[in-house]
Amino acid sequence: MFPGQDSYSKNGAFQVRLFVRGEPVNVVVDDRMPVYNYSTAAGYNENYPWFNSSPSKAGAYWLLILEKAMAKLNVNYTGINGGQVG
């Protein structure tokens, strides 16, 4: 899934290999993740929660990187939200 990368990228760029109709497609994304900008005045305790997924309890970020690559492949995050898993 992450060809040639076995650790966190020092420059924040990641290449993700996805498959579209059986053909490999390489997508490059950075480590800047979208967050909600809720105001603390509205009663939220956390000012900038993650937009969709969040890092695992162990601190792994691979799911966020994969999700961002899928969003880029599908134009934006709206292109991957909704639908049925099956």
Residues 86 and 81: their CA atoms lie apart, in Å, by 14
Q: How confident is the model at residue 27 (pLDDT cuts 50, 70, 90)?
A: very high
Q: Please compute the mean of the pLDDT values over residues 4-11 and round it to a whole number.
A: 74
Q: How confident is the model at residue 24 (pLDDT cuts 50, 70, 90)?
A: very high
Residue 5 domain flag = no
Residue 33 domain flag = yes
Residue 6 domain flag = no
Question: Which residues are registered as beta bridge partners of 19?
Answer: 24
Q: What is the pLDDT of residues 30-75, one digit of tens each?
A: 888 877 766 655 565 666 777 777 778 887 788 888 888 988 888 8
Which parts of the chain are beta strand (E)? 13-20, 23-30
Phi and psi, residue 70, nearest 5°: -65, -40
Q: Total structural domains in the chain?
A: 1
Residue 7 domain flag = no
Phi and psi, residue 50, nearest 5°: -60, 150
Please report the pLDDT score of residue 80 as a whole number. Answer: 77
